[in-house]
């Protein structure tokens, strides 16, 4: 019994020792396998980072954006008709709404009447110029007549002077009577007065001619070098007509671009003022993406590099292609309503994000339309050419 027990005990001890060796061998193999797996994963990760991940940067902090067209009427009035609603697609030039045009029509009629009056006054000015020119010519002719009168009066004066001198020389000889001498003296006085009067008439005619010519020149200066189309007063009146027509045309408001109507803020009967926002048109075929990349991702990003994008709206089944067209002038934090004050001392470094604008392929955008504000995933290929 004792020998058998000892034999069994020896056998049992040998088995336990063998099992322990096997367990250690398994653990060693497991550890070696795990280590090899870790090394392999490390190699794969390093290869991915070096050869794949380093060739691109990606972010899910990207959103669809667009340059909206705000529709604002350029004239005031009461809205009488609205032909579109929110979410409705419109084409450029399509009628959106109308404003009551009674005031504008009255203003146009008044401007047209003022234009007609200005044209009549211009014609009147031309007629006045002709009349003043004729008057100046007539006064010039009167000068010649006055000169002839002066010459005639001078001849009469000379004759009267000669007759008086001859009779006056004979008054002591008795050859000339006192009555004859008195008549000669009176004739001389009359001739002298006539001569003085003729000179005064000549001076008056000359002054009248000068005045008439200056009046003509002053009148002509208002129309000199102009025509019915180029006269300043007519151009001013025509400008008022054009402005009135423009105001009348502006009572009909049309879409400035193709897009979708959003934020309609007007109703029929509402009084709308010049410059008030009536609605917004979103150009859904001209949208782009603002991708907010971390600052440590942008070292190799350049304008012109290609990008691939997916939208949460369609999922991963739809891929958009685009290219980088520019970078924002500052980070989102710098343009926030209350920018961070890092100089206060309470400072914690936070990785900043800079918006990168990515232009989308118009054909893909037309096939799968997007809307402003939708989330996007963006990846930029750093190895692509500019």
Q: Quote the pLDDT of residue 304.
A: 92
CB count in 10 Å sphere of residue 277 = 13
Pairing of strands 95-99, 77-82: antiparallel
- The model's pTM is 0.62
- What's the pLDDT score for residue 107? 95
Which stretches of the chain score pLDDT less than 50?
Answer: 1-15
* 231-237 LR contacts (CB < 8 Å, sep 24+): 231/118, 231/122, 233/118, 233/121, 233/122, 234/115, 234/118, 234/119, 234/122, 236/118, 237/111, 237/114, 237/115, 237/117, 237/118, 237/119
State residue 347's pLDDT score: 67
- What is the model's pLDDT at position 70? 94
* Cα–Cα distance measured from residue 319 to residue 357, given in angstroms and rounded to the nearest whole number: 17
Radius of gyration of the chain, Cα coordinates, nearest whole angstrom: 54
| Contact predicate 355/332, CB 8 Å | yes
Contact 56, 380 (CB under 8 A): yes
pLDDT digits (tens, 9 = 90+) for 191-241: 899 989 989 988 988 888 888 888 888 888 878 888 888 899 999 999 999
Contacts of residue 95, defined as CB under 8 A and 6 or more positions apart, other chains included, come to 83, 252, 253, 254
The C-alpha angle 244, 246, 248, rounded to 5 degrees, equals: 70
Helix (H, G, I), strand (E, B) or coil at 379: strand
> How much helix, strand and coil, in percent to the nearest 5, is found in the chain?
50, 20, 30
Phi and psi, residue 157, nearest 5° = -65, -45
CA neighbor of 269 nearest in space, from 74, 104, 80? 80
Report the interhelical angle of 232-249 vs 102-169 (nearest 10°).
170
What is the distance, to the nearest Å, from the Cα of residue 186 to the centroid of all Cα atoms in its chain? Answer: 89
């Amino acid at each position: 019994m004792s020998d058998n027990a000892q034999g069994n005990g020896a056998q049992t001890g040998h088995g336990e020792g063998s099992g322990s060796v096997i367990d250690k061998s398994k653990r060693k193999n497991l550890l070696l396998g795990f280590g090899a797996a870790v090394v392999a994963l490390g190699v794969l990760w390093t290869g991915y980072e070096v050869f794949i991940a380093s060739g691109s940067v990606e972010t899910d902090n990207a959103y669809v954006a667009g340059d909206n067209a705000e529709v604002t009427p350029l004239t005031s009035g009461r809205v009488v008709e609205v032909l579109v609603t929110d979410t409705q697609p419109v084409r450029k030039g399509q009628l959106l709404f109308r404003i009551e045009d009674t005031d504008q029509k009255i203003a146009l009629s008044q401007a047209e009447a003022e234009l007609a009056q200005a044209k009549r006054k211009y014609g009147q000015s031309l007629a006045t110029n002709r009349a003043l020119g004729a008057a100046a010519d007539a006064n010039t002719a009167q000068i010649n007549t006055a000169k002839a009168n002066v010459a005639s009066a001078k001849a009469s004066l000379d004759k009267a002077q000669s007759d008086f001198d001859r009779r006056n020389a004979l008054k002591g000889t008795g050859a000339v009577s006192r009555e004859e001498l008195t008549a000669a003296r009176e004739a001389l006085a009359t001739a002298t007065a006539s001569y003085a009067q003729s000179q005064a008439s000549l001076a008056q005619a000359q002054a009248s001619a000068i005045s008439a010519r200056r009046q003509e020149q002053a009148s002509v200066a208002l129309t000199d070098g102009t025509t019915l189309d180029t006269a300043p007063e007519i151009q001013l009146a025509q400008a008022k007509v054009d402005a009135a027509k423009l105001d009348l045309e502006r009572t009909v408001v049309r879409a400035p671009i193709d897009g979708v109507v959003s934020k309609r803020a007007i109703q029929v009967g509402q009084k709308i003022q010049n410059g008030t926002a009536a609605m917004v048109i979103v150009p859904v075929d001209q949208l782009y993406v603002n991708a907010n990349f971390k600052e440590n991702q942008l070292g190799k990003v350049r304008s012109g590099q290609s990008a691939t994008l997916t939208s949460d709206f369609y999922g991963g089944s739809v891929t958009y292609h685009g290219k980088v067209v520019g970078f924002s002038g500052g980070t989102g934090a710098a343009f926030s309503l209350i920018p961070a004050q890092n100089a206060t001392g309470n400072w914690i470094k936070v990785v900043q994000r800079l918006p990168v604008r990515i232009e989308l392929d118009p054909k893909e955008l037309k096939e799968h339309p997007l809307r402003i504000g939708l989330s996007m995933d963006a990846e930029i290929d750093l190895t692509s050419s500019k």
